[in-house]
Structure 1
């Protein structure tokens, strides 16, 4: 699943959770039970994220919750050390070639 599809899926689920907070799919099918369970877990995760944002003193809005759900901040933090190490290696190679 691409990040765009994940983003759309997250938005659809957030919309579904917000529009129908106390409604559940009623059916005997396993899919409906599975979806209801997933929605309950997703809702709990959103409340947990909201609580953590409040306790850390950060701004609580849909964008910050989405970023945490999709781990966007983690990806940015992991990329910075890679670029830093790459820049150091290139600078070292250039220094060696300059001395020759």
Structure 2
């Protein structure tokens, strides 16, 4: 194989690496936004996971099932960064 034939593969690999970096950045940005949101908005995020989950009688779509799980996971990770309620803070 010549270097010209390898170039598209190398380009695609670099683009894929950049896409992964952007997804990681977006995940962390979403976590930071969820960490400072209301309980109602967290419930809405969890409702979205339920909404996109397969319904009885329908064929599960694997990427959608994983996306729903990822939403729940992001909400859970955001809880680690939420401010503690005044009654739970150390004195």
Same fold per superposition (TM over 0.5): no
For normalisation by structure 2, the TM-score amounts to 0.34
For normalisation by structure 1, the TM-score amounts to 0.32
More RCO (CA 8 Å, sep 6+): 2
Which structure's residues are more often helix, by fraction?
A: 1
